[in-house]
């Protein structure tokens, strides 16, 4: 896969909103040590390479700037592993 994206490509950017030293002091220490990061997807406004500072237009029309992280990002979340006991609930209720 190429590291170069053309204007209009669906991409994901990342921007640090708060550096660790700017985070609230009442956070747990392990959380406080990490930057507070925004990740957002949108349409690239100019040709760019991964790692470049870019501007994107989100699906709802907001402009965001940040570092280009991913070209054509996809979703990879799940609802976890199957719980066998839940598979037959609908069948049991109908019978």
Q: 71: domain CATH number?
A: 2.30.30
The answer to whether residue 85 sits within a structural domain is no
Number of structural domains in the chain = 1
Percent of the chain scoring above 70 in pLDDT: 99
Q: Give domain status of residue 87, yes or no.
A: no
CB 63 within 8 A of CB 55: yes
Structure pTM?
Answer: 0.77
* CB contact set of 35 (below 8 Å; sequence gap of 6+): 16, 17, 18, 19, 20
- The answer as to whether 12 is a domain residue is yes
- The DSSP letter of residue 61 is S
34-76 pLDDT tens trace: 999 999 999 999 999 999 999 999 999 999 999 999 999 998 8
Answer yes or no: is 30 within a domain: yes
């Amino acid at each position: 896969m190429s590291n170069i994206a053309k204007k209009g490509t669906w991409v994901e950017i990342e921007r640090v909103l708060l550096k660790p030293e700017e985070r609230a002091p009442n956070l747990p220490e392990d959380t406080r040590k990490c930057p507070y990061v925004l990740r957002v997807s949108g349409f690239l406004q100019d040709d760019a390479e991964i790692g470049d500072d870019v501007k994107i237009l989100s699906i709802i029309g907001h402009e965001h700037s940040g570092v280009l992280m991913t070209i054509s990002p996809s979703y990879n979340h799940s609802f976890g592993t199957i719980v066998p006991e839940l598979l037959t609930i609908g069948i049991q209720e109908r019978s």
